Amino acid sequence: CMTGGYEFKTHGKPLVFFYKQRSGLKMDDLFLSFFKSELMTSPATLIFKRRCLDTVVFSKNIELGHIHFILDLTLHFKGAILYDTLLYRRLHETGYSAINHTKRHNDGLELIRHYKHLLPRQVYSKALLKSHVNFGETCLKEKLRLKAAKEFFHAWSHQPFNAIPVKKIAKALLLPL
Using CA atoms, how far apart are residues 50 and 56, in angstroms rounded to an integer?
Answer: 10
pLDDT digits (tens, 9 = 90+) for 87-137: 334 334 444 444 578 888 998 899 999 999 999 999 999 999 999 999 999
Q: Report the candidate in 33, 45, 62 with the shortest Cα–Cα distance to residue 4.
A: 45
**Regarding beta strands 25-28 and 79-82, do their DSSP bridges make them parallel or antiparallel, or are they unpaired?**
antiparallel
Query: What is the structure's pLDDT at 90?
Result: 37
Query: What is the structure's pLDDT at 116?
Result: 96
Cα Rg, the chain, nearest whole Å: 17
Query: What is the structure's pLDDT at 50?
Result: 81
Rounded mean pLDDT of 3-14? 46
Residue 28 has pLDDT above 70, yes or no: yes
Residue 11 has pLDDT above 70, yes or no: no
pLDDT digits (tens, 9 = 90+) for 44-88: 666 777 888 888 877 777 777 788 888 888 888 887 776 554 433
Alpha helices in the chain (DSSP H): 31-35, 65-76, 98-114, 121-141, 145-158, 163-174
Average pLDDT, the chain: 77
Residue type for position 160: P
Query: What is the structure's pLDDT at 84?
Result: 57
Using CA atoms, how far apart are residues 15 and 46, in angstroms rounded to an integer?
Answer: 22
